[in-house]
Amino acid sequence: MIHRVAMVSLHTSPLDQPGTGDAGGMNVYVLELSRRLATQGIAVDIFTRATSSRLPQVVEAYDGVAVHHVHAGPFEGLAKGDLPGQLCTFAREVLRAEASNPPGYFDAVHSHYWLSGQVGALSRDRWGVPLVHSMHTMAKVKNEALAEGDSPEPEARVIGEEQVVDAADMLIANTDLEAKQLINMYDAEPGRVAVVHPGVDLRVFRPRGRAAARAALGLPARAHVLLFAGRIQPLKAPDVLLRAAAVMLARDPSLRRSLVVPIVGGPSGSGLEHPTGLADLAHELGISDVVRFVPPVRQDELALWYSAASVVAVPSYNESFGLVAVEAQACGTPVVAAAVGGLTTAVHHGRSGLLVDGHDPAQWADALTNAISSHSRWSALADGAREHAQDFSWDLTARNTLEVYEEAKMLMREELTA
């Protein structure tokens, strides 16, 4: 039986505010999965790199969920690309945490992202417990669909991912598509790949009433609100929404009186190189008057923004799943998303939202206009959005993940006795 899990999230803490820096859907995933595992009697220790000397060594996030801030390298100023140089130090500290407890303290290791997978593989061999790994994003997939201005992932990451795939007892894919990518692009054994959908907190992300949400946020009651929420970087493509909004205004200048385009989030990744790039683009397009930039917000306030929106746009070049899409739909708001990666699972085309092939602003303008063109059309999509989101819950994610842990444990035993 699984009683205690070591969760490794090296490059970003699940306690960080999603929507800026390296914090995003993976942070939500790690924390919510851990929380739900704990409610099922599984103790979880999350190991993440400390980014401030002021952070306590251990934070009790929830009953049964402890977040360990591991000292590895300088607290500040260390980019994600520099972290491979700190893997040995981080791994040593993780191993030391187990060594201070009785033998067999952990029953499984679950690593997130390839850097954590490298640490997880070492822990697996040292502790004699199974390694379960979640990729979240993959270099080979990202490099096949780079956004303009984005940099390709280095070969070192590709090699590191291949090593983690080879070392893991089980791999968790968010969708069937991701499972196929692991098998076809990384030569993963099909029997060692399990599909487990991420979830959504349906208590937080629920319809709040559009009029009330808009009043709370200071938005016009009758506006067409086209919302983007997430990290501002080329991969997430918020520029596509701005360009599409400019097309919509060129087609119908009267729309300027009612159009509002909130961008909720902060610069991240290569977007940090030009932190004012999106605001500059809005100025160049002549739409600064309809665009609002909002810093990252807590989940309860984010749910208000979703509820206030007419449509949530997710124009990413790639998403392993797309939690924003499911969160928005849980709030009863239709989603217009790129037909890439996990978004084709997160959004039910024609029922809960619309999927767009490619990133052409004119096509996006067509889809956004389609979604808000009539109240009956919007209402049908909003109803479908709420229904579709009910298929995703963190409790189900935790139960299915626990089954994967048990399967990994069985496979490891078989390997040792072979």
Give the orientation angle of helix 323-330 with respect to helix 299-308, to 10 degrees.
70
Angle at 255 between CA 250 and CA 260, to 5 degrees: 105
Is 17 annotated to bind a ligand? Reply is: yes
Determine whether the annotation assigns residue 269 to a binding site: no
Taking residue 180's Cβ as centre, other Cβ atoms within 10 Å add up to 15
The answer to whether 168 is annotated as binding is no
Helix or strand (DSSP H, E) at 417: helix 394-417
161 annotated among ligand-binding-site residues: no
Q: Which of 129, 56, 50 is nearest to 86 (CA)?
A: 50
CA atoms lying within 13 Å on the CB side of residue 274: 10
Q: Is 236 annotated as a binding residue?
A: yes
The reply, when asked if residue 309 is annotated as ligand binding, is yes
Residue 118 tokens read as: 């490298």
CA–CA separation, 18 vs 22, rounded Å? 8
Q: Helix (H, G, I), strand (E, B), or coil: what is residue 42?
A: coil
**DSSP per-residue letters across 300-319:** HHHHHHHHH-SEEEE--S--
Establish whether 113 is an annotated binding residue.
yes
Strand partners, 85: none
Known binding residue 284? Answer is no
Q: What one-letter code names the amino acid at 37?
A: L
Whether residue 180 is annotated as binding a ligand: the answer is no
Asked if residues 111 and 134 have their Cβ atoms less than 8 Å apart, the reply is: yes
73 is in an annotated binding site: no
Type of residue found at 75 = F
Using CB atoms within 10 Å of the CB of residue 187, give its burial: 0 to 12 exposed, 13 to 18 middle, 19+ buried: exposed
Do 263 and 231 contact (CB within 8 A), yes or no?
no
18 among annotated binding-site residues: yes
Cβ neighbours of 312 (radius 10 Å) = 29
Task: Tell me: is residue 214 an annotated ligand-binding position.
Answer: no
Q: Is there a binding annotation on residue 246?
A: no
| 157 known ligand binder | yes
Residue 105 among known ligand-binding residues? no
Contacts of 143 (CB under 8 A, 6+ apart): 152, 153
Pairing verdict, β 311-314 and 291-294: unpaired
How many other CB atoms sit within 10 Å of the CB of residue 193? 21
Is residue 333 annotated as involved in ligand binding?
yes
CA distance 168 to 141: 19
Residues flagged as binding site for Mg(2+): 306, 309, 333
Residues flagged as binding site for UDP-N-acetyl-alpha-D-glucosamine: 17-18, 25, 231, 236, 297, 319, 327
Residues flagged as binding site for 1D-myo-inositol 3-phosphate: 11, 22-27, 80, 113, 137, 157
Residues flagged as binding site: 11, 17-18, 22-27, 80, 113, 137, 157, 231, 236, 297, 306, 309, 319, 327, 333
